[in-house]
Chain A
């Protein structure tokens, strides 16, 4: 069935460091892939997405490339800021058993803490 696996946190970085949060997926068909961000005490917000192989999603300095050959969608940022501290979720569209794509399946989330 469809699933998402992302690296466990917490990830602790100093300001201006390079960030990578790994995400791999298992899916039937061709799902869309997403990164969502959750700031403390809030709901989730869409950070970026990609809908087909080799697409690159980007937003606010974050990037992720849909790699079908490695079934990955790793999140990267060249220089993190304290304000990037949050929980990051990788997600894909589709049910656990494959088929229709009318819901999202989320990874367990990765807590990022950026220190000044």
Chain B
């Protein structure tokens, strides 16, 4: 079945450690996105990518890094510089009609807890 797969679903990290969240899609979508979800704050965009080997910062990119070496994959690294990393992370992808995104397809999310 086509879709977006995020792993792991739950992740625990000690302070000072980097951690990488995986996101893979088999929908042949050009664009991929990472959002962070915190209670009462909705979704905030971390990074997005419209094409392989290119990506742009979203609204809260500090303390995060990404890569887009393959069309299907868009991993997110939460670095030790991220001061408050405990959150629910959502990966999404979309077709682009020109530069317009019309619908996002989401993965099931990864819940990161810093101990």
Residue ranges of A at the interface with B (Cβ–Cβ < 8 Å): 32, 34, 36, 41-46, 49, 51, 89, 93, 96, 100-109
- A101–B101 touching, CB < 8 Å: yes
Q: Does B109 belong to the interface (CB within 8 Å)?
A: yes
Cross-chain contact of A102 among B42, B96, B108 (Cβ < 8 A): B96
- B109–A43 touching, CB < 8 Å: yes
Which residues of B have CB within 8 Å of A102? 31, 48, 50, 96, 99-101
Within 8 A of A (CB), among B47-63: 48, 50, 58-59
Known: A43-B90, A44-B90, A109-B42. A93 touches B100 (CB 8 A): yes
Q: How far is the CA of A36 from the CA of B48 in the complex (A)?
A: 19
Cross-chain contact of A46 among B40, B48, B96, B103 (Cβ < 8 A): B103
- A44–B106 touching, CB < 8 Å: yes
Q: Does B45 belong to the interface (CB within 8 Å)?
A: yes
Cross-chain contact of B42 among A89, A96, A101, A103 (Cβ < 8 A): A89
A39 to chain B, nearest CB (A): 11
Q: How far is the CA of A46 from the CA of B92 in the complex (A)?
A: 12
Q: Chain B residue with minimal CB distance to A4?
A: B42
Q: Chain A residue with minimal CB distance to B58?
A: A103
12 contacts between A and B (CB under 8 A): A41-B109, A42-B108, A42-B109, A43-B6, A43-B106, A44-B43, A49-B102, A93-B100, A93-B101, A96-B59, A101-B99, A104-B104
Known: A43-B108, A43-B109, A108-B41. A49 touches B103 (CB 8 A): yes
Q: How far is the CA of A101 from the CA of B41 in the complex (A)?
A: 22
